[in-house]
Structure formats: C-alpha cells, structure tokens
Amino acid sequence: MLSIAMTNDKLKEIGKRIRAEREKYSLSRERFSELVNISPRYLSGIELGRKQMSLDTAVAVAMSLHIKLDYLILGESEPTGDAEPIIELLKKCTQRELSMASDVLKIFLMKKDK
C-alpha cells in the first residue's frame, strides 16, 4: 500500500499553489473562501501550509480555480489549450471591452464546473 505523508513542506507547496491560482483571478481570500464554502481563517491556514484539507475541500478548490487535482496536490500539470485565437480577438478590443471581457471570463471559469 502506498502511503504519502503530508509533510509541512508539501502542505506549504499546496498552499502556495492555491494562493497563486486564487490571485490569478484577483480573488480575495474572503471571496474565494465563500466560493468553496470554507472560512477565510481555514483558507488562510491551508495557504500557509498549517492546515490540511479534506478531499471534498480539495476538489472544491481545484474545481473553483479551474485546475486539475493532480496539479493542486502534486504540482504536476498538463499543457493548457491554445489561447492564440482569443488573444487575437482581445487585441482588437478597447480598454472598456477588455475590462468587460476579463470580468466575463473570470465568472465563466469560476462557474464552469459547478
């Protein structure tokens, strides 16, 4: 039987990945904790590597951040899709349109898997 101990270092690595991904969406700790149905204090503990999370919480975090669970836990990821067609469309947008597109995309990615 394979046993993977969650050392403090591993917990800190997971927490750093969560925080980095959360910050990509410009989400406060308070707002993100609402999305995954945990307290901001608990999320802080997870991000700092001081608290472990249940499988249910890990799945909710991964889904909300639109990342794979293996990346969240192990730091391994698959290549992302080709964004070039979208980038070309965005290059034609005004600043106001870019702001609106950013807001819509954030909402889409946060709600996609729910």
Q: What's the sign of the alpha-carbon dihedral 20, 25, 31, 35?
A: negative
Global pTM value: 0.66
**Domains (ranges, CATH) in the chain?**
8-74 (1.10.260.40), 79-114 (no CATH)
pLDDT tens readout for residues 60-101: 999 999 898 989 998 887 656 778 888 899 999 999 999 999
Report the C-alpha dihedral over residues 64, 32, 72, 62, rounded to 10 degrees. -20
With the CA atoms of 21, 108, 76 and 11 taken in that order, what torsion angle do they form, in degrees rounded to the nearest 10? 40
